[in-house]
Chain A
Amino acid sequence: MTAGPSTDPRAGAPGAATPTRRNTELALLGFAVLITLAAQCIVDLTVTGSLRAELATFGAWFAAIWAGLHLVVRKLAPYADPLLLPAVALLCGLGLTMIHRLDLADEQADAASGGDAPVQLLWATVGAGLFVAVLVVLRDHRLLARFAYTLALVGLVLLALPAVLPASVSEVYGAKIWIRVAGFSIQPGEFAKICLIVFFASYLVDKRDVLALASRRVMGLEIPRARDLGPVLVAWALSILVLVFERDLGSSLLLFGIFVVMLYIATERSSWLLIGLGLFAAGAFLAYQLFGHVRVRVDTWLDPFAYRDEGGYQLVQSLFGLGTGGLFGAGLGGGRPDQVPVAKSDFIAAALGEELGLFGLVALIVVYLILVERGLRTSLVVRDAFGKLLAGGLAFAVAWQLFVVLGGVTGLLPLTGLTTPFVAYGGSSLVANFGLVAILVRISDAARRPAAPPAPPKPAIGEAPTEVVTP
């Protein structure tokens, strides 16, 4: 099925050399659904002592989402990586369980509140719809490269929209990153992230030779020419603008990090990483000096306990939660994760850490690592440069976002307000990340698909039988 004739008869069987591994995916998806249902049962039994009536509906719905996505992948991307979907399923399931658990805590405190888990399940269904749509519309990931500049424009508009809109529509907890219309709130930045990654990939594939080769060697380091610094300076300025006008540390850091790393992947020049770090340091210093909201974040990060009654309260509660969890956690439903403000979205990792402990939180990180590893592996295997850079960028985006979030929750980095992909409560983040994984699935299908069998070798012209050509 690959190249050329072979003396081995086994090589003739289709699928023998390049297994699609769809059955592996199905088994692992089943496992992930099972773990989710087990978690839901444990939460219900621990908190209320009995299983809730809606559990059967939830289980059937949740399983149906993944069964449906599995069938779509089987049909539309048969060679796709078998681990991407199960990892997402498990993360999504753990997130839903923790949101449900916090719902229960809210209900105990105040009967009127709660009920976020069904909404999140609905968003997961919408996300699954986007996943299917991406696979149906995008039959070849290289198609994206043709719309790179359009997507860049869309991305920039999405990114800038909340900054332009009045604060009543766009501001929540001091960050102007929302669009709130008719009861729905959307964080357009999550979608802008994907659009911009596509654009970065396409742009850098075109320009990487210039960015990599035109450089001078100074002290063992390749220093690019001044005018080639343009793109990285533009990305830097953009990030600063996001920081100033939307007061969003997270998106700003996310965007700049993604651009610098994609530049590094494209050019293989470590000098870009150093330039990026330098620009970041300069930006961070300026931001600290100029903007109050950044200074508050940094101060509470350096000494959360000194500000425990004001800005540091969230972080202090999160650290207490993680400490209470210890190695093995309090058990699902056994802790008090509702003590942390906004535990469902920004601090869901702290909630999971409290109830599952270090072992559980590390397991969560490893599941993310599997997702990222499969993305990077796709990037290594896929044959075209655009696909390589796009897969690498998307995989890095997930890893980078997780690092920034977990760093914030554990006190390693200043708090940013990014979401934990797939786990945290929030429709935009969930739906956008489903789209991101759909693109990765599409690229991995292209990467693992065996090459089309070449035309049978033509006999040499001398050996070919004489042909009579009649007009």
Chain B
Amino acid sequence: MTAEIVLQVFRFGFLLLLWLFIFAAFRVVRADLFGGRAGRVASVPPRAAVPGRKRGRGPRTLVVTAGPLSGTKITLGEQPILIGRADDSTLVLTDDFASSRHARLTNRGGQWYVEDLGSTNGTYLDQQRVQGPLLVAPGQPIRIGQTALELR
């Protein structure tokens, strides 16, 4: 029979191994949910780091108001926000009517502009089809396929 200490190593080591497998599997689940590499979503700066937030003017969040992702909120920072089906978009849509790189929201001097990136089915700001960059006012709905977004 094997020494007692070795048995204890086996006993706990095996449980550790089992949970490591689960950890690895969860990393895959997470990468699958948030697209691309794990931690990709963190490219949107966390709330505390958003500059200009204390000034209390301008929109702070991008809210999905309709569609499968309804309720999703993205805190706005300085970086542009990419919207599309591609895994590395900031907001990854799973919508047959969305293109892989569908639209982009950019911050210029505290104001946000929406641009269509040559999508097949177009981006609409309040009924109007987005051709060039358009200024987005808070509360104005942006429509992409079945998804509607709003700055707040």
7 A-B residue pairs with Cβ-Cβ distance under 8 Å, sorted by A, are A4-B99, A21-B28, A46-B2, A46-B7, A328-B15, A363-B15, A457-B120
Of the candidates A4, A35, A49, A373, which one forms a contact with B21 in the assembled complex, judged by CB atoms under 8 Å apart?
Answer: A35
Q: How far is the CA of A377 from the CA of B25 in the complex (A)?
A: 15
Q: Which of B7-28 contact A (CB under 8 A)?
A: 7-8, 10-12, 14-15, 17-22, 24-26, 28
Which A residues contact B (CB, under 8 angstroms)? 1-8, 11, 16-19, 21, 24, 27-28, 31-32, 34-35, 38-39, 42, 45-46, 49, 82-83, 86-87, 90, 328-332, 334, 356-357, 359-360, 363-364, 366-367, 370, 373, 377, 381, 383, 451, 454, 457
Whether A38 contacts B17 in the complex (CB less than 8 A), given A2-B85, A17-B85, A21-B28, comes out as: yes
Q: How far is the CA of A38 from the CA of B8 in the complex (A)?
A: 14
Is B75 an interface residue when CB atoms closer than 8 A count as contact?
A: no
Q: Are A381 and B25 in contact (CB under 8 A)?
A: no
Whether A7 contacts B118 in the complex (CB less than 8 A), given A24-B28, A83-B25, A329-B15, comes out as: yes
Other 19 A-B pairs with CB < 8 A, given A5-B120, A17-B85, A82-B28 = A2-B85, A4-B100, A8-B86, A8-B101, A11-B100, A28-B25, A28-B28, A35-B18, A46-B2, A49-B1, A83-B25, A86-B21, A331-B11, A332-B11, A332-B14, A334-B11, A370-B26, A373-B29, A451-B96
Q: Are B101 and A363 in contact (CB under 8 A)?
A: no
Which residues in A have their C-beta under 8 angstroms from that of B107? none
Which residues in B have their C-beta under 8 angstroms from that of A377? 32
Q: Are B15 and A359 in contact (CB under 8 A)?
A: yes
Of the candidates B10, B86, B117, which one forms a contact with A42 in the assembled complex, judged by CB atoms under 8 Å apart?
Answer: B10
Of the candidates B8, B86, B94, B97, which one forms a contact with A381 in the assembled complex, judged by CB atoms under 8 Å apart?
Answer: B94
Q: Are A28 and B21 in contact (CB under 8 A)?
A: yes
Q: Which residue from chain B places its CB closest to the CB of A373 in the assembled complex?
A: B29
Q: How far is the CA of A366 from the CA of B22 in the complex (A)?
A: 7
Q: Are A363 and B7 in contact (CB under 8 A)?
A: no
Which residues in A have their C-beta under 8 angstroms from that of B87? 16-19
Number of chain B residues close to chain A: CB under 8 A: 37
Q: How far is the CA of A328 from the CA of B10 in the complex (A)?
A: 11
Of the candidates A5, A21, A83, A363, which one forms a contact with B18 in the assembled complex, judged by CB atoms under 8 Å apart?
Answer: A363
Q: Are B100 and A49 in contact (CB under 8 A)?
A: no
| Shortest Cβ distance from residue A106 to the other chain B in the assembled complex, whole angstroms | 19
Which residues in B have their C-beta under 8 angstroms from that of A457? 120
Q: Are B24 and A31 in contact (CB under 8 A)?
A: yes
Number of A-B contacts (CB under 8 A): 128
Q: Are A28 and B24 in contact (CB under 8 A)?
A: yes
| Shortest Cβ distance from residue A10 to the other chain B in the assembled complex, whole angstroms | 8
Q: Are A356 and B15 in contact (CB under 8 A)?
A: yes
- What 6 pairs between A and B have smallest CB-CB spacing? A4-B120, A331-B11, A2-B100, A4-B99, A363-B18, A17-B86
Q: Are A2 and B99 in contact (CB under 8 A)?
A: yes
Which residues in A have their C-beta under 8 angstroms from that of B97? 3
Query: Chain A CB within 10 Å — which of B6, B86, B118 has the most?
Result: B86
Cβ contacts B79-117/A at 8 Å (1 or 0 each):
000000111000000101111110000000000000001
Q: How far is the CA of A4 from the CA of B87 in the complex (A)?
A: 16
Q: How far is the CA of A25 from the CA of B22 in the complex (A)?
A: 13
| Shortest Cβ distance from residue A220 to the other chain B in the assembled complex, whole angstroms | 24
Of the candidates B11, B25, B28, which one forms a contact with A329 in the assembled complex, judged by CB atoms under 8 Å apart?
Answer: B11
Q: How far is the CA of A21 from the CA of B12 in the complex (A)?
A: 31
Whether A356 contacts B22 in the complex (CB less than 8 A), given A8-B117, A17-B85, A451-B96, comes out as: no
Which residues in B have their C-beta under 8 angstroms from that of A86? 21, 25
| Shortest Cβ distance from residue B9 to the other chain A in the assembled complex, whole angstroms | 10
